[in-house]
Amino acid sequence: MVIRGGERSGVTGAGGRRSRHAGQFGPLGLHLADPHTEASVRGLLETIEVELRASVASADPFVTEAARHLVEAGGKRFRPLLVALGAQFGEPARPEVVSAAVVVELTHLATLYHDDVMDEAAVRRGAPSANSRWTNSVAILVGDYLFARAADVAAELGPEAVRLQARTFARLVHGQIAETVGPRADADPVRHYLDVIAEKTGSLIATSAHFGALFSGTDPEHVSALAGYGETIGVAFQLSDDLLDIASESAESGKTPGTDLREGVPTLPVLYALASDDADASSVRLREILATGPLTDDALHTEALGLLRESPALKRARETVRSYAEDARARLAPLPDVPARRALESLCDHIADRTS
C-alpha cells in the first residue's frame, strides 16, 4: 500500500504546512480561483486536521504518541482534499463530510505504518519511521489501531460507509499482495503494475471523492462521476510521481532522484524499457543494466538514470500519464460547471504537465 514517490517527502500540502499562494494548495497544483470555494475547502481541511488528531487519541499516552507520529509529520492530505472538493457539489458544511475525510486519511496512514515495516524504511515524511523509532511490532500494531479507529468513525456514518471502507481496504490488501507476489509468468508486467496502482492507490482516492460527494448529499450520478475521477486521477498521480523520480534534476519528487531505480522498484518507465525491442545501442545497454536488478553501484546507477531520461520508454510513460489525466477529466463531464469542477480539472493539467 506504499505510494512510491512523494509520500516519503517532508513536503506538506493542504492540512500540513500549506502554501499561502492565493488559491493554490501546496505541491498539488490545484487552483481555486473562487474565494467562496477556497474558503470552504480550507475551512474543511483545518477542521479535518483537528479531528484527525483527536481521533487517534488513546487512554494510553504511548499509543497516542505512536499513532500521532505520522499525523504530525504532515503530508499532502490528498485524500481529505478530494473529500472536501467532492463535497462542494452538495452541502459541504455537513459534519459527516469531516468524519468521512478522517476515515480515509486514517486508513491511508495505517497503510503507511505497515508499508514501512515491509519496506524496512528508516524515514517517512522527513521523520524517522515508526518502525525505526520503536520496533516493527509496534508499527504493525499502531497501523492496526488506526484501521480500527477508521472503522469506528465509519460506523458512525452508517452501513454504506462501513461497506465502502471495508471494500476499499480489501482492494488495498489485494493490491499489496499482487505487488508482493509479482506478475504471473504469462502476465503482462505493465498491465500488472497498472492494476496494482489502481488497487493500492486509486481505490482509496476514489473512495475519498465518493465520500465527499455522498455525505454532502450530492446526486447519485455526481457521486459516481467523482468516484471514477478519483480512481483515475489517483493512478495518474502515482505514475507521475514515478516519473519524477527519474526525470527530476532535484528532489522535486520528495526523494533523491533515482531512488526507485537504486532500490530495484520496477516503475512504469523501467517496465517499458525492459519490454522494448528497440535495437539502438542506448536501448540495448539500458536493458542490460536494468536486468541486473537493484542498482547499488553508483556508476551503473548514474548511467542507467541518464539513459532512462533520454529513452523512448520515458516518453511513452509520460504519454500514459497524460492519457490517465485526460481520462480523469472526461469523467467530470456529468458534473455542473462550478469552481470545484474547474479545480479538479486544474489537477489533471498539473499532473499531465509536471513530468514534461
- Give 273-332 pLDDT, tens digit per residue: 999 988 899 999 999 999 888 888 889 999 999 999 999 999 999 999 999 999 999 999
Residues 260, 319 within the same domain: yes
In a domain, 65, yes or no: yes
In a domain, 147, yes or no: yes
Residues 104, 205 within the same domain: yes
pLDDT at site 132: 65
pLDDT in tens, 109-132: 888 877 767 666 666 656 666 676
Residues 242, 271 within the same domain: yes
- Specify the range with the lowest mean pLDDT, choosing from 7-16, 136-145, 194-203, 281-290: 7-16
Residue with cell 508486467: 189
- Above 80 in pLDDT, residue 104? yes
In a domain, 257, yes or no: yes
- Residue 251's domain comprises 238-355
- Above 70 in pLDDT, residue 137? yes
Residues 214, 276 within the same domain: no
Share of the chain above pLDDT 90, in %: 55
In a domain, 6, yes or no: no
Residues 149, 289 within the same domain: no
HSE of 300, CA atoms in CB hemisphere, 13 A: 17
Distance of alpha carbon 197 from alpha carbon 200, whole angstroms: 5
Residues 263, 348 within the same domain: yes
Residues 214, 160 within the same domain: yes
Q: Work out the widest C-alpha separation in the chain, in whole angstroms.
A: 64
Number of domains in the chain: 2
- Helices within the chain (DSSP H only): 35-55, 61-71, 78-87, 95-119, 130-133, 136-157, 159-181, 189-197, 203-214, 220-247, 259-263, 268-275, 281-290, 298-309, 312-330, 339-353
pLDDT at site 122: 63
Mean per-residue pLDDT over the chain, rounded = 84
pLDDT at site 123: 62
Confidence tier at 196 by pLDDT (50, 70, 90): very high
- Above 50 in pLDDT, residue 15? no
Question: What backbone torsions phi and psi does residue 124 show, to the nearest 5 degrees?
Answer: -140, 120
Residues 105, 212 within the same domain: yes
pLDDT at site 257: 72
